C-alpha cells in the first residue's frame, strides 16, 4: 500500500524532512517486525535498515517505546485507509461486512497483520499501547454500528447497534485468523452470512 504524501513546508513547498525521516524509520521498523518479530528488533537494526545513524532515530523518535507507539499509529492509519478505500465514507453494514469477510481484506491486510499481531502481544505489557489499539477497534465498531443504523432506519435510538457491531467485529477477526490457518473459503462465507443476519436483526 502506498504511504501518504509527505507534509509540505508552507514556505518552500518542499516535503517536511522531519515527517519524511520519521516515516522512513517507522516503515523500516515495521518491515523488521514482520521479518523477525518485535522482540528481536533493536534500534541498531532499525538504523541499519532505514539507512540512518542510531542517534538520528533517537533525535526523531525518542526511545524504543515511542517508536513502537508510532508504528501502531501508522498501522491503524493504514487499516483505516484500507477500509475507507474499499467501502467509502458512509457505507451500510452490508458493504462493511462483505469486505471484512472477503479474501480481498485478508490479502490487503497481510503485511500489517503480521506487524499488528506482534504489537497486539506487546500491548499486554503496555497499557498505553493497549488503549491505542483498542481505539482502532472502537472506530471500526462505531463505523459498523453507523452502517447498521443506516441500513435499518426504523431501528429505535436505544437499540444496541454498538453491541451488534462488536459481535460482528469479533466474528470477522476470528474468521480472518482461521482463514490464515487454511480453513476453506466456504466457512468464511457461512460466517459472513451469520454476520449479515446479526446486522439485519434476523
- Per-residue DSSP letter, 90: S
Give dist(CA 124, CA 47) in Å, integer.
26
Instruction: Report the DSSP beta bridge partners of residue 8.
Output: 15
Residue 89 is given by DSSP the state S
Which of 14-23, 90-99, 147-156, 165-174 is the least confident region? 14-23
Question: Among residues 113, 175, 179, 168, which one has the least CA distance to residue 143?
Answer: 168
pLDDT tens column, 99-152: 999 887 766 555 667 888 899 999 999 999 999 999 889 999 999 999 999 999
DSSP helix/strand/coil, 8 = strand
Predicted confidence (pLDDT) per residue in 4-60, tens digit:
444 444 445 566 888 899 999 999 999 999 999 999 999 999 999 999 999 999 999
Q: Is the pLDDT reported for residue 74 higher than 60?
A: yes
Please indicate whether residue 1 or residue 162 has the higher confidence score (pLDDT): 162
Amino acid at each position: 500500500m502506498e504511504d501518504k504524501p509527505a507534509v509540505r513546508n508552507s514556505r518552500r513547498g518542499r516535503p517536511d524532512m522531519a515527517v519524511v525521516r520519521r516515516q522512513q524509520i517507522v516503515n523500516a521498523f515495521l518491515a523488521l517486525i514482520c521479518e523477525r518479530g518485535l522482540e528481536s528488533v533493536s534500534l541498531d537494526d532499525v538504523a541499519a535498515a532505514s539507512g540512518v545513524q542510531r542517534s538520528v532515530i533517537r533525535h526523531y523518535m525518542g526511545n524504543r517505546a515511542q517508536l513502537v507507539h508510532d508504528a501502531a499509529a501508522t498501522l491503524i492509519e493504514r487499516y483505516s485507509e484500507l477500509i475507507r478505500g474499499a467501502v467509502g465514507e458512509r457505507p451500510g453494514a452490508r458493504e462493511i461486512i462483505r469486505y471484512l469477510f472477503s479474501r480481498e481484506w485478508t490479502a490487503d491486510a497481510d503485511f500489517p497483520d503480521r506487524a499488528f499481531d506482534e504489537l497486539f502481544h506487546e500491548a499486554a505489557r503496555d497499557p498505553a499501547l493497549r488503549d491505542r489499539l483498542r481505539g482502532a477497534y472502537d472506530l471500526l465498531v462505531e463505523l459498523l454500528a453507523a452502517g447498521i443504523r443506516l441500513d435499518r432506519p426504523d431501528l429505535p435510538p436505544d437499540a444496541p447497534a454498538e453491541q451488534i457491531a462488536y459481535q460482528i467485529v469479533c466474528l470477522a477477526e476470528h474468521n480472518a485468523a482461521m482463514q490464515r490457518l487454511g480453513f476453506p473459503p466456504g466457512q468464511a462465507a457461512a460466517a459472513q452470512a451469520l454476520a449479515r443476519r446479526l446486522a439485519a436483526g434476523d
